[in-house]
Amino acid sequence: SGQVRVGAALEQRLREIEVAVDDADEQRTGAVAGVQLVDVRPAVEQRQAAVQLRAVARESPANAKIQYLLGSILFEEKNSKEAADCFSKTILLEPGFEPAYHDLAAAQINLDQTKEALETLGRTRFHVWEGEGGIHSVYVAARLGRGRRLLARGEAAAALEEFRSAAAIPAN
């Protein structure tokens, strides 16, 4: 039927977009002999992917993968507000998908919502293997941000506690 073909076409386009995003991420984050590679993905391609994903999200608003991919692109475009909205929708649609919690917390930190970021991180698990660049660095950034704000308000004892908390990985 026509609806099945539209669904199949939609799924095919989503796979193409996902592969393009994954390939671009590998190019952006890959390292050779310990040297970080430069982002070679043109901004135009990223904007086009965001436009296409927005269209797909309108057609399939209950697809967590689409919401997450769109949020990832928006986050890279420094659009933390819309990215946070997409990551929040991803969590509502697929509560067990932990990367959405990590990315939502990172977006919340960019929006200067460190309290909310820590609450978001409190809803997921920390894994020892994640290390630098994973949930741990998001947690540290949130704690340090809260500590700096407390220190600026003259609450040195509370700030010190936040700074100490940043140095420890919380228990699951």
Quick one: average pLDDT of 130-135?
A: 54
Q: Closest Cα to residue 67, out of 43, 99, 45?
A: 99
Q: Closest Cα to residue 103, out of 70, 150, 128?
A: 70
pLDDT at 99 over 60: yes
Cβ–Cβ < 8 Å for 150, 159: yes
Burial class (CB in 10 A: 0-12, 13-18, 19+), 86: buried
Confidence of residue 132 (pLDDT cuts 50, 70, 90): very low
Quick one: average pLDDT of 28-42?
A: 42
Beta bridge partners of 36: 31
- Its pTM stands at 0.63
Amino acid 108: pLDDT: 95
Beta bridge partners of 31: 36
